């Protein structure tokens, strides 16, 4: 299935240099504390992406990783920031910021060079904290002679943290390439000789994961062994304690099972670490002293708070859900949810406040180093549990989407093109429903070239099911309104027509209701929405949801997989009969899954 996608943008080195300098200027004006520390980490993440982009550009030029001034100075920049983060983290967030040499080194790179920058998914989506690598390295027993090697993308920055914690020199970063399950490294002979000159020291390989195959870790370890490094000298710094995935080779699995691995998980770091590092302490100034321990609502556990029995739970890809906790303070419940580290989290804080002030989303208490804190309305039922007047519902949906269309531009953030969405729809339909269904869809879906010119990308919601809406008295509040157009999938930021299509599907709107919705969106948003755009996107929406639900079901078992396949079946039926997208319950009620 075509579901996942990486967020990659093209920009100049100078634009990223200016952004990093701005982050550090803001940081210097802050008092010591977790907010200042989080801003320092934001500068580190932005620098990591810059260094990755510059070194990858050289890799593209040479076809291999080469020794160069850019490589050396880039990793030195990361090392300076890593040492500053370590000082802040281990000294109660009292650090003074990076050494004065940082900006000079940062600004020495050619600002006119264009690079492709890849967003680090772990920082943005999966609550991967850079500080966990500091803690893992400090507990590893490795010494300063260790040769640290980071695997790009995210491993470039993570390796600098490992090196800083053990007082090792700035690391080297390599880019494994090739088939996702059979990666290989290409290293210039001069760089290879430098890296492996001392085979009797430890070699630490650093990255997030492993994923389905762990072949990136395996490729670097294979290369080291081929260069004469004894296997027992190779250690790993992954992001979790688990084994390699099912696509791993037998030799990689055998080595991984015996290898020395150093991991510090997020729960150990933020829930069981020192008081200064505890998540509940970070949010105390936002909500007050807690009434009890944080309650974990991750992995679909939030549903037990909204529904009386499991039979009514909506489907959820629990492996992809963001970490979230319930905090109670003075009897008031608050949702503490991972929104992303660095500038990704800061953008969501601004969006959350904007939507709340407009009356569309819950109250916002604030943001602390990756976690956004919003009011949890525990007594409010979701829209799939109560009848609502259809006209009022459609008008509210239109007002909400119109507001996003007017006030939430994409600001250059990427999203799949209509042609990419069309190819995804045909492919997913073929995988799920067979070649005949895919052929029919390919014939019926028009070439989107003429529509692409009319697309106006915004920060779309991308998640419109009824259970994402709460009935709070005479108000309807949208929950989970920040994450899904900046998620680890291929959709990204879309025209508001994507959300119109999502609302039509998820609420089973009639043709008349759909027309009214589009009219309200145009009136409130101040921009026309071509009628043929939601019609095109509706099919793409169903195909994407079909693929996403089936992929999640294949990775899970038990009742969750049953729920996911049931939901996928509905999207599949709509793809077989597009005109069946209509209201599926009697007038006056929101359709139930």
- CATH code (residue 253): 3.40.50.2020
Whether 111 is in a domain gets the answer yes
- What is the Cα 417 distance to its own chain's centre? 20
CB 47 within 8 A of CB 66: no
Examine the domain organization and report whether 364 and 396 are in the same domain: no
**Rounded distance between C-alpha atoms, residue 343 and residue 480, angstroms:** 19
Q: Is residue 276 part of a domain?
A: no
381 falls within a domain: no
| Residue 191 near residue 66, CB atoms below 8 Å | yes
Nearest to 156 by CA among 231, 55, 270, 85: 55
On whether both 87 and 136 belong to a single domain, the answer is yes
Do 245 and 204 belong to one domain? yes
Of 539, 552, 488, 493, the closest CA to residue 1 belongs to: 552
Half-sphere exposure of 237 (CA within 13 A, CB side): 38
- Same structural domain, 37 and 176: yes
User: Same structural domain for residues 118 and 164?
Assistant: yes
- Same-domain pairing of 130 and 264: yes
- Residue 159 resides in a domain: yes
CATH number of the domain residue 297 falls in:
3.30.200
186 shares a domain with 311: no
Sign of CA dihedral 575, 569, 307, 326: negative
Q: Name the nearest CA neighbour of 93 among 131, 57, 133.
A: 131
Q: Are residues 398 and 348 in the same domain?
A: no
In whole angstroms, what is the distance from residue 22 CA to residue 347 CA? 15
Helices (H), 271-314: 279-282, 284-287, 303-306
Angle, helices 497-507 vs 390-407, to 10°: value is: 160
81: CB partners within 8 A, 6+ apart? 40, 43, 44, 47, 98, 102, 160
Q: Does a structural domain hold residue 364?
A: yes
Residue 487 lies in a domain: yes
Count: domains in the chain: 3
Last residue of one domain, picked from the residues 375, 401, 426: 375
- The whole-model pTM stands at 0.94
87 within a domain of the structure (yes/no): yes
Task: Output phi, psi for 585, to 5 deg.
Answer: -125, 170
Lookup: tokens for 432: 């799920």
What pLDDT tens digit does each residue of the chain (593 aa) get? 999 988 788 999 999 999 999 999 999 999 999 999 999 999 999 999 999 999 999 999 999 999 999 999 999 999 999 999 999 999 999 978 898 899 999 999 999 999 999 899 999 999 999 999 999 999 999 999 999 999 999 999 999 999 999 999 999 999 999 999 999 999 999 999 999 999 899 999 999 999 889 999 999 999 999 999 999 999 999 999 999 999 999 999 999 999 999 999 999 999 988 899 999 999 999 999 989 999 999 999 999 999 989 999 999 999 889 999 999 999 999 999 999 999 999 999 999 999 999 999 999 999 999 999 999 999 999 999 999 999 999 999 999 999 999 999 998 788 999 999 999 999 999 999 999 999 999 999 989 999 999 999 999 999 999 999 999 998 999 999 999 998 889 999 999 999 999 999 999 999 999 999 999 999 999 999 999 999 999 999 999 999 999 999 998 989 999 999 999 999 999 998 755 443 333 333 343 33
Give the domain range for residue 521: 390-580
Q: Among 320, 345, 375, where does a domain finish?
A: 375
**213 shares its domain with 333:** no
| Length reported for the chain | 593
Q: Three-state SS for 492?
A: strand
Which of 268, 302, 324 marks a domain boundary?
A: 268
CA atoms within 13 A on the CB side of 66: 13
- Structure tokens given for 494: 């879309």
Quote the DSSP letter at residue 382.
B
**Domain-located, residue 593:** no
Cα gap 593→537, rounded to integer Å: 21
Residue keyed to tokens 């850079």: 130
Beta bridge partners of 204: 148, 235
Same domain, 200 and 326: no
């Amino acid at each position: 299935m075509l579901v996942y996608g990486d967020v990659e943008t093209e920009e100049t080195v100078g634009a990223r240099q200016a952004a990093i300098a701005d982050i550090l200027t803001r940081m210097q004006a802050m008092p010591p504390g977790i907010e200042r520390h989080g801003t320092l980490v934001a500068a580190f993440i932005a620098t990591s992406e810059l260094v990755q982009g510059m070194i990858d550009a050289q890799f593209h030029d040479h076809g291999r990783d080469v020794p160069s001034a850019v490589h050396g100075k880039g990793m030195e920049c990361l090392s300076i920031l890593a040492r500053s983060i370590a000082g802040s983290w281990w000294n109660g967030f009292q650090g003074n910021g990076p050494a004065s040499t940082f900006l000079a080194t940062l600004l020495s790179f050619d600002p006119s060079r264009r690079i492709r920058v890849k967003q680090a998914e772990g920082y943005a989506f999966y609550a991967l904290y850079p500080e966990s690598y500091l803690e893992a390295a400090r507990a590893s027993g490795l010494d300063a002679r260790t040769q640290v090697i980071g695997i790009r993308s995210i491993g470039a920055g993570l390796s600098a943290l490992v090196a800083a914690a053990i007082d090792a020199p700035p690391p080297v970063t390599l880019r494994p390439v090739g088939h996702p399950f059979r990666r290989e490294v290409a290293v210039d002979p001069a760089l290879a000789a430098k890296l492996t000159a001392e085979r009797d020291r430890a070699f630490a390989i650093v990255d997030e994961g492993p994923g389905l195959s762990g072949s990136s870790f395996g490729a670097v370890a294979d290369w080291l062994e081929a260069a004469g490094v004894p296997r027992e000298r190779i250690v790993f710094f992954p992001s979790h304690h688990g084994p390699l995935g099912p696509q791993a080779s037998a030799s990689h699995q055998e080595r991984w099972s015996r290898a020395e691995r150093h991991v510090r998980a997020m729960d150990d770091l933020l829930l069981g670490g020192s008081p200064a590092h505890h998540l509940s302490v970070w949010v105390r100034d936002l909500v007050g002293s807690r009434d009890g321990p944080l309650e974990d609502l991750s992995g679909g556990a939030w549903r037990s708070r909204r529904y009386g029995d499991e039979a009514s739970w909506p489907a959820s890809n629990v492996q992809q859900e963001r970490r979230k906790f319930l905090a109670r303070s003075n009897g008031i419940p608050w949702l503490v949810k991972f929104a992303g580290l660095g500038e990704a989290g800061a953008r969501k804080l601004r969006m959350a406040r904007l939507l709340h002030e407009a009356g569309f989303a819950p109250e916002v208490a604030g943001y602390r180093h990756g976690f956004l804190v919003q009011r949890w309305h525990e007594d409010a039922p979701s829209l799939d549990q109560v009848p609502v007047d259809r006209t009022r519902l459609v008008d509210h949906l239109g007002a909400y989407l119109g507001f996003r269309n007017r006030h939430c531009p994409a600001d250059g953030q990427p999203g799949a093109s209509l042609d990419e969405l069309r190819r995804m729809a045909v492919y997913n339909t073929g995988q799920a429903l067979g070649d005949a269904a895919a052929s029919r869809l390919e014939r019926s879906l028009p070439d989107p070239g003429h529509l692409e010119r009319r697309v106006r990308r915004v920060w779309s919601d991308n998640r419109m099911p009824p259970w994402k809406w709460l009935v709070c008295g005479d108000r309807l509040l949208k929950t989970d309104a920040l994450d899904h157009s900046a998620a680890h999938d291929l959709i990204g930021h879309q025209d508001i027509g994507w959300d119109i299509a999502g609302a039509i599907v998820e609420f089973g709107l009639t043709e008349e209701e759909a027309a009214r919705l589009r009219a309200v969106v145009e009136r409130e948003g101040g921009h026309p929405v071509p009628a043929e755009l939601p019609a095109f996107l509706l099919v793409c929406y169903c195909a994407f949801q079909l693929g996403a639900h089936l992929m999640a079901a294949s990775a899970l078992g038990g009742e969750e997989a049953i729920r996911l396949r049931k939901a996928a079946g509905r999207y599949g039926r709509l793809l077989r009969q597009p005109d069946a997208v209509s209201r599926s319950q009697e007038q006056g009620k929101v359709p139930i899954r």
